[in-house]
Amino acid sequence: MSIQNNYEAIMAGGIGSRFWPVSRTKHPKQFIDLLGTGRSLIQWTYHRFKHICPKENIYFITNQQYIATLKEQIPEVSDENIISEPSRKNTAPCAAYFAHKMLALNPNANIIMSPADHLIMDERAFERTCYDALDFVAKNDALLTLGIKPTRPDTGYGYIQYDVEDEIDKVYRVKTFTEKPSLDLARTFLKSGDFLWNSGIFVWNVKTIVNELEKHLPEMNEVFEQAKDVYNTPNEAAVINDLYSQCTNISIDYGIMEKAKNVYVIPSYFGWCDLGTWESAYDNSDKDYLGNAVYGSNVMIIDATECMVKAPDKKLVVLQGLEQFIVIDTPDVLLVCERSREQQIKEYVAEVKRNKGENYL
């Protein structure tokens, strides 16, 4: 496997509404240093992939409105490596588009599709896993996903069941995908030992994915095949802009992975977290002795336990009497809600939209 054949598509078009009010439509969470690590989530993601493939092979797929922020945060990325998604259409159109673009560029391309906003603690383990994955898809006609060994019965994640007996080089055949399960089901999954969290990181050779698109999403595949002569030319953006609206809004998981026969997973251990919610940010934070995760240099806890608190450094926050709450303060929005209710934040945001328009989104 030549490293020159490795390509990376960082999917960075999401709006991260479950991280509202810190994540905003205009400045979503991938561009934010949520945990105060000194780099935004997308900067870390880019940083990680620079060890896996040449930086010319790292692409960003994002929405037009985020391109300026992206360039600001990663100035070294060239315009050719920024793909503007004409509209939000979930991950399958994004994967199909990128596959066809790569096919035109390098028919031996091995591709990693990765979200921009995940937290990964063990970079070296991540690199090793990616190399193994790229190597596997270069040699096998396989759709590969990275599965995370679950540590708790999280109901916010998707689960992958794999066949523990069907193994080649630590890669296992996938039996089923299950979207966000009930708590009971999640507990059963955890006990059974053959379930992994779906990281949303997919790895495949360009020929494999195009084949599978032909089989399972033939109409969508045709849309992108039509454009084969314009990929990687100055006309690409305009042509795709016209074609994109013909795509169905569907995820990679649902559109391809759950239907294909050649789906594999690598059980992985690299300190992964979706960081999709305040709860996951809380889990990944250092806490004080009362279990409070505090971001902001002027937060005074009078008495509060197991709270997730974030405020601008200059703002003095005095908290008393809160147990297991999320308190997020920004210059124009304050959110106070129970940690157990944070799956509802999306609904609150929808409510805000109905009542207040787009101003606070």
Peptide bond into 21 cis (omega under 30): yes
Among 338, 343, 346, 350, binds a second copy (CB under 8 A): 338
Out of 21, 115, 267, 276, name the contact with a second copy by CB under 8 A.
Answer: 21
The single residue listed with the structure tokens 């992964």 is: 272
**Distance separating alpha carbons of residues 300 and 316, to the nearest angstrom:** 7
Torsion of CA 208, 209, 211, 212, to 10 degrees: 120
* Residue placing its CB nearer to a second copy in the complex, 271 or 291: 291
Residue number, 20 or 59, with CB nearest to a second copy: 20
| Residue of 315, 350, 353, 358 that binds a second copy (CB under 8 A) | 315
Does 298 participate in binding a second copy (rule CB under 8 A)?
yes
Phi, psi angle pair for 228, to nearest 5°: -60, -25
With contacts defined by CB under 8 A, name the span among 59-67, 146-154, 263-271, 323-331 that binds a second copy. Answer: 323-331
Neighbour order of strands in the sheet with 325-329 = 293-295, 308-310, 325-329
- Our finding on whether 341 is near a second copy (CB under 8 A) is yes
| 290 contacts a second copy (rule: CB under 8 A) | no
How far apart are alpha carbons 254 and 321 in whole angstroms? 44
Stretch that binds a second copy, among 6-14, 78-86, 259-267, 309-317 (CB under 8 A): 309-317
CA distance 183 to 31: 31
* Shorter beta-carbon distance to a second copy: residue 214 or 323: 323
Nearest to a second copy of 53, 304 (CB atom): 304
172 touches 267 (CB < 8 A): yes
Cis ω before 153 (30° cut-off from 0): no
The reply on whether position 333 binds a second copy by CB under 8 A is yes
- List contacts with a second copy (CB under 8 A): 21, 298, 300, 302, 311, 314-322, 325, 327, 329, 332-338, 341, 344, 348, 351-352, 355-356, 359-360
